Amino acid sequence: MESVKNTAVISVIGKDRVGIIAGVSALLSENNININDISQTIMDDIFTMIMMVDLKDNEIENSDIKEKLNKLGDELGVAITIQHTDLFNRMHRI
């Protein structure tokens, strides 16, 4: 089983528009970050997406990918966050 240290959760929330999935997927691909799983839905006019991504082969510092995702989110008009899976799991324990 893959270590959670090599995986992260990316969430994307905002007003629905064409190109959100394409933009996020392209940025991840350009930085050699693989998408392991993805779930997306549109509630009313709000786009929501959660992605599990593999960071083991990425060629960029984690702070740099976070910065790139924030910039892309601004361009697309959505909020994009990334958290390592182990941190995400600790934050969501009851």
How is the chain split into domains, by residue range?
A: 4-91
72-85 in b/e form (b: 16+ CB < 10 A) is bbeebebebebbbb
CATH superfamily of 4-91: ACT domain (3.30.70.260)
Q: What is the mean pLDDT of residues 12-17?
A: 97
What letter does residue 63 receive in the DSSP assignment? Answer: H
Q: How confident is the model at residue 3 (pLDDT cuts 50, 70, 90)?
A: very low
13: which 2 tokens? 């929330």
Average pLDDT taken over every residue of the chain: 87
How much is the average pLDDT of 10-20?
97
Percent of the chain scored above 70 by pLDDT? 82
42-88 residue pLDDT tens: 999 999 999 999 988 876 777 789 999 999 999 999 999 999 866 65
Sheet with strand 34-43: strands edge to edge: 34-43, 46-54, 7-15, 78-84
